[in-house]
Chain A
Amino acid sequence: MYTYDDYDQRIVDERVRQFRDQTRRYLAGELCEEAFRPLRLMNGLYLQRHAPMLRVAIPYGLLSARQLRMLAMVARTYDRGYGHFSTRQNIQFNWPELARVPDILADLATVGMHAIQTSGNCVRNISSDALAGIAPDEIDDPRPWCELLRQWSTLHPEFSYLPRKFKIAVSGAEQDRAATAFHDIGLRLVRDADGRLGFRVLVGGGQGRTPRVGVVLREFLETRDLLSYTEAILRVYNRFGRRDNKYKARIKILVGALGIAEFSRLVEQEWAAQRDSALVLTPQAIAAMRAHFAPPAYDPAAAADTLPAAGPAFARWVERNTRAHRVAGYRAVFVSLKDGRHAPGDASAEAMDLVAALAERYSFGEVRVTHDQNLVLADVRVSELHGLWQALAAAGLATPNIGLVTDMICCPGLDFCSLANAASIPVALAIQARFDDLDYLHDVGELELKMSGCMNACGHHHVGHIGILGVDKNGAEFYQFTLGGVAGDGARLGERLGPAVPRAEVVDTLAHILEVYLAERGAEERFIDTVRRIGVAPFKERVYARAA
């Protein structure tokens, strides 16, 4: 993985110094809250319901074991012993003390970590495919491109005061596991008819209160032009994006207002002037970056490995929680952070330490954070799966539910977030408690359940096969269901099922939806396929029949 050199490290250290001074000026009354707010946000610090929340960047979800141990140390020393992995592959600490945040950042800096641009109206952490570099369906490794974008966007002088936040995702595989159609810019690595590598550029996707599927801005962008073209998009957005209403300030609104043809014309015009600027990526620069992501020393002997027969529980875990690897004899292992006892995505300091140790023992010392709020050990030898499983299972990290109903995405909701209208964590736990029968879960099969506690959609409800949105109705918590959303290939927004249901009925409503699916599904048909085939009506009928 990319390791910070002395240049990167100096920037991180100087950022700590800068933020320490900003915090000092704020606490000394030299900076008012209004002036401090954008400064702290640009460093991932929110003031939430109970305490500040610090979001730490995990660039494209990639961590070394050493970095994960540092996160555990931060959780233990400055927080309440846990952290929350977010849908943008970052980690959030819910209980730090404002005055100690500079110390947290100084500790993080010792392992090349920081909170730079994890919030604020700037280019945020670049997100990507958790299986980058190892997926059998990969066209090109997205991580070097993510890192090039990370460096270009870090402390960008022109784009630190954009109309609104700006999120970029990069996917390098046939299958889009990075939800590129729901980002401000989505980049898909592709090859053209001549076999040249480039990007298909999507723009204007997003969720929130105005969900939009991104549209193609350019079918093929040469890799050399990645940064100059991105800069042109950002400049057009910075100049013309709305600033009068924060709910209409994202690039999707600008693209919608201008139309993709006019937006594209403006970008091309801007790009024409800058295309051959110093932003051009030379073959040397690309090769140097690729070298940072060279494959680890896989053992060729692994190809002869066989999976030990070790009982049905192990077999089920292998089937559910591991994925194919492009190198024979290796698998990618998902560490489930959805045990039904903790908020989805939460990990204790002990769990983080354990996963760090397991990464060192079994997976070349690297860990990935998935956008579904789990962790991945990407390079595990098949012959070692059993040992790893035993260690994870002993710590409650081997719930065999990856991709199933209880592997749900969930935002912090009313328990922590000052924007939320309704609880999400307790509802998620209630759902997980109800659907804890593994045979039933596995029978239902692949299903993406996503829940947000307000229309800002941090829990990605719009793109859940089943989405649940918490709303406030005269002081009571209600939940709006949507069906048929898709985050990856064939991206689409879910369709509303009907009126929102009270909190007490959420679990039953979900049970009724699953009941219809089990009754209606064809052979080998996944939930999403059934919804697509029969539409929302049969589900609606079942869910609301009770009331009549």
Chain B
Amino acid sequence: MSGAGAMRVIRDGRVMDDPWRTVGAEEALPGGAIIVPLERRAEALDSGHAAEALGVMLPGSAEPDLLEGLLGSLPLVAIHFESPGDGRGYSLARTLRERGFAGELRACGAFGRDHVFYLARCGFDAFAPDGDGDPAALLAGFDDFSLVYQPAADQRDPIGALRAARERTPAR
């Protein structure tokens, strides 16, 4: 979960330099915008770190109630995927969005281009996968499907709503 500086991240559908630095459990806390394990948030605040430059990292297994009271003030929540098959982070992400979290929701860890379509639908808007590969390789995955069947965190109209709308305005 630790990372060195000058990383790349996908945000808003583009690859960019990551303005955030991810700090591990043991590392000294640097200045600037940092993402710390949730357990270290109090420590960072105590050492004078500004809340608006302090994001938190959670494993996908985390209980969403841990962030109760913080969702309005956290600028960034990062959810770490231990393995591509561990889907708990998808539910955690949707739950946080349903509870009103509006900051950056970042997927970190073990996932790839075949996962980002689903991740984005669950409310993630930033993507920083493990590995040395170019995050740009992930970009194609966001367009795997142009339609969706079910409502989710992305507010896209599901097919059922499109059908209902078409019923109301029959083809000319």
Is the pair A239, B91 in contact by a Cβ cutoff of 8 Å?
Answer: yes
Is the pair B149, A11 in contact by a Cβ cutoff of 8 Å?
Answer: yes
Is the pair B118, A157 in contact by a Cβ cutoff of 8 Å?
Answer: yes
User: Please, which residues of chain B bring their CB within 8 A of the CB of A154?
Assistant: 149
Is the pair A157, B121 in contact by a Cβ cutoff of 8 Å?
Answer: yes
Choose among B91, B145, B147, B163 the residue that contacts A158 (Cβ–Cβ < 8 A): B91
> Would you give the shortest CB distance from A155 to chain B, in whole angstroms?
6
Query: Is A243 an interface residue when CB atoms closer than 8 A count as contact?
Result: yes
Interface size class of B (residues with CB under 8 A): 35 or more
Q: A158-B122, A274-B98, A278-B158 are in contact. Are A11 and B145 (CB under 8 A)?
A: yes
> Would you give the shortest CB distance from B92 to chain A, in whole angstroms?
8
Is the pair A35, B90 in contact by a Cβ cutoff of 8 Å?
Answer: no
Report Cα–Cα, A352/B105, bound state, in Å: 51
For B82, give the chain A residue with the smallest CB separation: A243
Query: Is A156 an interface residue when CB atoms closer than 8 A count as contact?
Result: yes
Most interface-central of B88, B92, B163 (chain A CB within 10 A): B88
Considering only residues 62-89 of chain A, those with a C-beta below 8 Å from chain B are none
Q: A7-B162, A156-B150, A278-B151 are in contact. Are A38 and B91 (CB under 8 A)?
A: no
> Would you give the shortest CB distance from B114 to chain A, in whole angstroms?
6
Choose among A10, A14, A156, A284 the residue that contacts B144 (Cβ–Cβ < 8 A): A14
User: Please, which residues of chain B bring their CB within 8 A of the CB of A238?
Assistant: 87-88, 90-91
Considering only residues 148-163 of chain B, those with a C-beta below 8 Å from chain A are 148-152, 158-163
Query: Is A418 an interface residue when CB atoms closer than 8 A count as contact?
Result: no
Report Cα–Cα, A159/B90, bound state, in Å: 8
User: Please, which residues of chain A bring their CB within 8 A of the CB of B145?
Assistant: 11, 14-15, 18, 155
Most interface-central of A161, A235, A277 (chain B CB within 10 A): A161
Is the pair B86, A243 in contact by a Cβ cutoff of 8 Å?
Answer: yes
> Would you give the shortest CB distance from B167 to chain A, in whole angstroms?
8
> Would you give the shortest CB distance from A266 to chain B, in whole angstroms?
12
Is the pair A285, B150 in contact by a Cβ cutoff of 8 Å?
Answer: no
Is the pair B149, A161 in contact by a Cβ cutoff of 8 Å?
Answer: no
Query: Is A160 an interface residue when CB atoms closer than 8 A count as contact?
Result: yes
Interface flags for A277-314 (1: CB within 8 Å of B; 0: not) read 11100001100100000000000000000000000000
Is the pair A279, B85 in contact by a Cβ cutoff of 8 Å?
Answer: no
Is the pair B151, A157 in contact by a Cβ cutoff of 8 Å?
Answer: no
Report Cα–Cα, A277/B160, bound state, in Å: 14
Choose among B87, B144, B158, B160 the residue that contacts A18 (Cβ–Cβ < 8 A): B144
User: Please, which residues of chain B bring their CB within 8 A of the CB of A501?
Assistant: none
Interface size class of A (residues with CB under 8 A): 35 or more
Considering only residues 67-94 of chain B, those with a C-beta below 8 Å from chain A are 84-88, 90-92, 94
Query: Is B129 an interface residue when CB atoms closer than 8 A count as contact?
Result: no
Is the pair A158, B87 in contact by a Cβ cutoff of 8 Å?
Answer: yes
Considering only residues 120-168 of chain B, those with a C-beta below 8 Å from chain A are 121-122, 144-152, 158-164, 167
Query: Is A273 an interface residue when CB atoms closer than 8 A count as contact?
Result: yes
Report Cα–Cα, A14/B148, bound state, in Å: 11
Is the pair A235, B91 in contact by a Cβ cutoff of 8 Å?
Answer: yes
Is the pair A161, B98 in contact by a Cβ cutoff of 8 Å?
Answer: no
Choose among B85, B152, B159, B160 the residue that contacts A157 (Cβ–Cβ < 8 A): B152
Q: A121-B85, A158-B122, A161-B90 are in contact. Are A288 and B163 (CB under 8 A)?
A: yes
For B60, give the chain A residue with the smallest CB separation: A239
Query: Is A178 an interface residue when CB atoms closer than 8 A count as contact?
Result: no
Report Cα–Cα, A152/B149, bound state, in Å: 6
User: Please, which residues of chain A bring their CB within 8 A of the CB of B159?
Assistant: 7-8, 11, 151
For B110, give the chain A residue with the smallest CB separation: A35
Choose among A18, A158, A162, A285 the residue that contacts B164 (Cβ–Cβ < 8 A): A285
Most interface-central of A7, A11, A277, A285 (chain B CB within 10 A): A7
Interface flags for B93-121 (1: CB within 8 Å of A; 0: not) read 01100100000000000001010011101
> Would you give the shortest CB distance from A278 to chain B, in whole angstroms?
4
Choose among A7, A18, A39, A235 the residue that contacts B163 (Cβ–Cβ < 8 A): A7
> Would you give the shortest CB distance from A327 to chain B, in whole angstroms?
30
User: Please, which residues of chain A bring their CB within 8 A of the CB of B91?
Assistant: 158, 235, 238-239
Is the pair A11, B88 in contact by a Cβ cutoff of 8 Å?
Answer: no
User: Please, which residues of chain B bring their CB within 8 A of the CB of A235?
Assistant: 91, 94-95
Is the pair B152, A158 in contact by a Cβ cutoff of 8 Å?
Answer: yes
Considering only residues 141-175 of chain A, those with a C-beta below 8 Å from chain B are 151-163
Query: Is A530 an interface residue when CB atoms closer than 8 A count as contact?
Result: no
Query: Is A22 an interface residue when CB atoms closer than 8 A count as contact?
Result: yes
Q: A39-B114, A158-B118, A278-B158 are in contact. List 8 more A-B contacts (CB 8 A).
A: A22-B114, A38-B84, A152-B150, A157-B122, A157-B150, A157-B152, A160-B87, A284-B164
Interface residues of B (CB under 8 A from A): 84-88, 90-92, 94-95, 98, 112, 114, 117-119, 121-122, 144-152, 158-164, 167
- Give the 7 A-B CB pairs with smallest separation, nearest first: A161-B87, A157-B121, A278-B151, A157-B118, A7-B159, A151-B149, A158-B90
- 7 CB contacts below 8 A, A to B, read A7-B163, A8-B159, A11-B147, A14-B146, A14-B147, A162-B87, A235-B95
Interface residues of A (CB under 8 A from B): 5, 7-8, 10-11, 14-15, 18, 22, 35, 38-39, 121, 151-163, 227, 235, 238-239, 243, 273-274, 277-279, 284-285, 288
